[in-house]
């Protein structure tokens, strides 16, 4: 008779390796660019790059949570647009930045909750629900703005996008705060741990007593909230709002999540990965600019980087015996 069987493989999950690879990539790009241009390795430039990365990261942070939980949120860009337009007009009308903040965060969260509700109640796939929401939110923004651009906000509001605190731009502080929040959520709360189980196998999670529907509502609400927050930062930085601002952010946000090593199939990924993804993508654009590569080439290079990231992860996973 057989005795207790030895496990098929003794490989432990290779969590840190892909993360180290990402850090190495960031270091390599930075060193290379410093060699090419002395202007690169300055504090000012570093802060400038991180500020650019922060917007991308904010949009991608909520998306990371949703994707780890086995979902997808295609409405983040359009949600950002809607939040931006609504809050801009409220600030214009009332002169109160606080009112604008409340409207942006409220609108973002509400759109997220609607996504969750559509998926839970109508039992439609996340792709379809949020794809529909993308058009709806975008459509409302176009109708609401009626071809106008809203610009010129009080200095107190513009501080969110262009201000500094302790010598560091405010968007970077926001990025760090959101990153820390997501990190704690995913690694130190029971709900965060359950999100991984739910993303890895929803049926098993449900039959383990994890309330899937409620967890899903929370994830999409957080994703919408992040879009609202990103909208505030973006409007304050641009000092303007118009219905075209959010949509171009969707694909880069997905790219940041993927380059960060989060699996589109759910159940694995990290917020630090997404942070590194956002930084890598920003660095690459900066490098291309520094090398005078025409902007027509940027999507091509970004695409190549995404594929490369996928390949490395697949290779690492095979090495780990998955």
Closer Cβ to another protein, 243 or 269, answer by number? 269
* Per CB under 8 A, 166 contacts another protein: no
* Per CB under 8 A, 267 contacts another protein: yes
Closer Cβ to another protein, 6 or 296, answer by number? 6
Angstrom distance (rounded) from CA 1 to CA 90:
75
Stretch that binds another protein, among 46-54, 146-154, 200-208, 278-286 (CB under 8 A): 200-208
Closer Cβ to another protein, 207 or 296, answer by number? 207
What's the Cα-to-Cα distance from 158 to each of 165, 220, 240, rounded to whole Å? 13, 28, 10
Site size for another protein, by CB under 8 A? 38
Angstrom distance (rounded) from CA 314 to CA 263:
10
By CB under 8 A, name the one of 42, 94, 148, 208 that touches another protein: 208
By CB under 8 A, name the one of 29, 102, 183, 191 that touches another protein: 191
Please compute, for residue 226, the number of CA atoms within 13 A of its CA located in the half-sphere on the CB side.
Answer: 32
- Minimum distance from residue 263 beta carbon to another protein (Å): 8
Is the distance from CB of 59 to CB of 226 less than 8 angstroms? Answer: yes
Stretch that binds another protein, among 28-36, 89-97, 109-117, 207-215 (CB under 8 A): 207-215
Six token digits for residue 288:
């291309």
Closer Cβ to another protein, 190 or 292, answer by number? 190
* Per CB under 8 A, 190 contacts another protein: yes
Stretch that binds another protein, among 8-16, 93-101, 128-136, 169-177 (CB under 8 A): 8-16
Angstrom distance (rounded) from CA 153 to CA 88:
8
Is the distance from CB of 83 to CB of 108 less than 8 angstroms? Answer: yes
Instruction: Tell me the β-bridge partners of 168.
Output: 165
Closest by Cα among 72, 92, 74, 94 to 84: 92
Is the distance from CB of 50 to CB of 244 less than 8 angstroms? Answer: no
Closest by Cα among 16, 19, 14, 68 to 275: 19
* Per CB under 8 A, 123 contacts another protein: no
* Per CB under 8 A, 120 contacts another protein: no
* Per CB under 8 A, 211 contacts another protein: yes
Six token digits for residue 233:
């930062």
Closer Cβ to another protein, 12 or 146, answer by number? 12
Contact positions vs another protein (CB under 8 A): 1-13, 187-194, 196-197, 200-201, 203-211, 267-268, 321-322
């Amino acid at each position: 008779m057989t005795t207790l069987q030895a496990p098929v493989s003794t490989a432990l999950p290779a969590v840190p390796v892909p993360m180290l690879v990402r850090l190495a990539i960031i270091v390599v790009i930075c060193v290379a660019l410093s060699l090419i241009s002395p202007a690169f390795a300055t504090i000012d430039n570093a802060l400038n790059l991180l500020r650019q990365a922060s917007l991308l990261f904010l949009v991608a942070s909520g998306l990371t949570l949703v994707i780890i939980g086995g979902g997808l949120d295609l409405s983040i860009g359009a949600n950002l647009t809607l939040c931006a337009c609504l809050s801009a007009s409220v600030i214009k009308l009332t002169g109160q930045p606080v009112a604008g903040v409340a409207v942006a965060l409220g609108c973002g969260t509400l759109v997220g909750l609607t996504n969750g509700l559509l998926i839970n109640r109508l039992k439609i796939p996340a792709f379809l629900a949020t794809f529909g929401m993308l058009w709806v939110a975008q459509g409302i923004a176009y109708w609401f703005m009626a071809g106008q651009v809203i610009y010129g906000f009080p200095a107190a509001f513009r501080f969110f996008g262009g201000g500094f605190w302790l010598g560091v731009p405010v968007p970077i502080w926001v990025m760090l705060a959101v990153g820390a929040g997501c990190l704690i959520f995913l690694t130190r709360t029971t709900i965060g741990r359950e999100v991984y189980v739910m993303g890895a196998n929803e049926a098993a999670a449900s039959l383990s007593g994890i309330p899937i529907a409620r967890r899903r509502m929370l994830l999409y609400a957080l994703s919408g909230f992040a879009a609202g927050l990103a909208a505030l930062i973006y409007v304050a930085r641009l000092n303007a709002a118009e219905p075209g601002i959010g949509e171009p952010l969707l694909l880069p946000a997905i790219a940041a999540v993927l380059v960060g090593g989060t699996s589109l199939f759910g159940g694995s990924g990290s917020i630090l990965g997404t942070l590194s993804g956002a930084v890598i993508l920003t660095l690459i654009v900066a490098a291309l600019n520094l090398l005078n590569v025409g902007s027509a080439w940027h999507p091509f290079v970004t695409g190549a980087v995404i594929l490369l990231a996928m390949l490395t992860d697949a290779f690492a996973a095979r090495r780990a015996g998955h």
